[in-house]
Amino acid sequence: MQSDQDKEYVGFATLPNQVHRKTVKKGFTFTLMVAGETGLGKSTLINSLFLTDLYKDRKVPNAEERIGQTVDIVKHTIGIEEKGIKLWLSIVDTPGFGDAVNNTASWKHVEDYIDQQFEQYFRDESGLNRKNIKDNRVHCLLYFISPFGHGLRPIDVECMKALHEKVNIIPLLAKADSLTHAEAYSKKSKIREEIKQFGINIYQFPECESDEDEDSKRQEQILKDSIPFAVIGSNIQVESKGRKFRGRSYPWGVVEVENPIHSDFLLLRNMLVRTHMQDLKDVTRETHYENYRAQCIQSMTRMMVQERKRRWVEPGPPPTPGRRRPLPLRKMQEVLERIQEQMQQSQRGSC
């Protein structure tokens, strides 16, 4: 017999479990882009973050090759499984960025790639078969800042301003082991001031809910105060005082990658993987992609109105009174392609 409690139980409380099972079965995807000049430790940091080696066959260009090198877009995708949870991680690297003598508009290749992923997703979303849409949109850009300057360089400012409305930018102060604590603190403050001064919109951590505990609020504030993250990467095991860890050995001592006193590596990894990965995807979908989509739809509507007006003046049999002549599917496709061309031209003109 059913108890009184069972009679009052409908069952929709199991919905989260149903969603969890379905999501785990499907797996997760995340696309991370890295940008910054050669020698700042981008590949080493990525390998350190995800405990993998994505750059086994990489060829490092010499000085002569770097002078005339153009920006390439190289994508690596790997499957990672942890406790039964599958993650398809895509790393988009930008070798050649900022390495040439003339770096004018060197970020254009990066911007075009981000736009291309938005365009492909928009086409797939607008198509007939929407069941298995592949999401290749860039969810996060780790932008590496050199520790050897006095703050942001002109290329840093122009690049981040060109991209900040299209992708979640997280600035990193590279090679933090080359700075003292005082130097790192000073450079962080300087970079934060310049980001605000030049109106660069980096990724904003979501505000804590009123019902969250004090520890969560404190951790969130630590993340905000740590921007830009001062990071160190290493894939080498170092032994010191009978203990092995990933780090770097110097004549004056050792640096531990995962020691919060030495760098912000743990803060970055926890934020990127454990606490804010889904929010980065949500902001990409709800803000950056929606802005692109709205712009596409507005342009499409404007061009369809112009096309309809043009069709009214073309010779041919008069339409039935009170009914508009429909726009053929082939014509709509042509309109969409013209919209994409106009958007790309306007973006080139604005640069």
Residue 314 has pLDDT above 70, yes or no: no
Would 41 be classed as within a structural domain? yes
Residue 331 has pLDDT above 90, yes or no: no
The pair phi, psi for residue 15, each rounded to 5°, is -55, -45
The CA-based angle 99-103-107, given to 5 degrees, is 95
Residue 330 has pLDDT above 80, yes or no: no
Residue 47 has pLDDT above 70, yes or no: yes
Would 15 be classed as within a structural domain? no
Of residues 266, 264, 267, the one with CA closest to residue 184: 264
132/181 Cα distance (integer angstroms): 49
Would 186 be classed as within a structural domain? yes
280/205 Cα distance (integer angstroms): 9
In the prediction, which pLDDT does 336 show?
64
Mean pLDDT of 334-346: 64
Residue 229 has pLDDT above 80, yes or no: yes
Would 333 be classed as within a structural domain? no
Lowest mean pLDDT among 42-51, 136-145, 219-228: 42-51
Domain around 259: 20-54+67-296
- Going from the C-alpha of 285 to that of each of 31, 121, 199, 289, 293, the distances in angstroms are 13, 11, 23, 5, 10
In the prediction, which pLDDT does 66 show?
47
In the prediction, which pLDDT does 298 show?
86
DSSP result, 56-74: TT-----HHHHHTPPP--E
In the prediction, which pLDDT does 68 show?
46
**What are the pLDDT digits (tens) for 168-183?**
999 999 988 888 889 9
The CA-based angle 36-42-47, given to 5 degrees, is 160
Is residue 246 very low, low, confident or very high in pLDDT (cuts 50, 70, 90)?
Answer: confident
Mean pLDDT of 196-217: 84
Higher per-residue confidence, 81 vs 59: 81
* Spatial contact of 126 and 96, defined as CB atoms under 8 Å apart: no
DSSP result, 183-199: HHHHHHHHHHHHHHHTT
63/305 Cα distance (integer angstroms): 54
Would 132 be classed as within a structural domain? yes
* Pairing status of strand 28-35 against strand 85-93: parallel
Residue 328 has pLDDT above 80, yes or no: no
Residue 62 has pLDDT above 60, yes or no: no
Residue listed under structure tokens 């605000």: 196
**What are the pLDDT digits (tens) for 73-126?**
888 888 888 788 888 889 998 877 766 555 667 788 889 999 999 999 998 888
Is residue 339 very low, low, confident or very high in pLDDT (cuts 50, 70, 90)?
Answer: low
In the prediction, which pLDDT does 17 show?
76
Tokens of 295: 């712009």
- Going from the C-alpha of 1 to that of each of 4, 8, 11, 41, the distances in angstroms are 10, 14, 18, 66
Would 330 be classed as within a structural domain? no
Higher per-residue confidence, 251 vs 285: 285
Residue listed under structure tokens 């069709």: 311
CATH of the domain at 161: 3.40.50.300
How many structural domains is the chain composed of?
A: 1
Higher per-residue confidence, 124 vs 18: 124
In the prediction, which pLDDT does 100 show?
59
Would 13 be classed as within a structural domain? no
Residue listed under structure tokens 């889904």: 278
Mean pLDDT of 291-299: 88
148/189 Cα distance (integer angstroms): 15
Would 179 be classed as within a structural domain? yes
Mean confidence (pLDDT) of the chain = 79
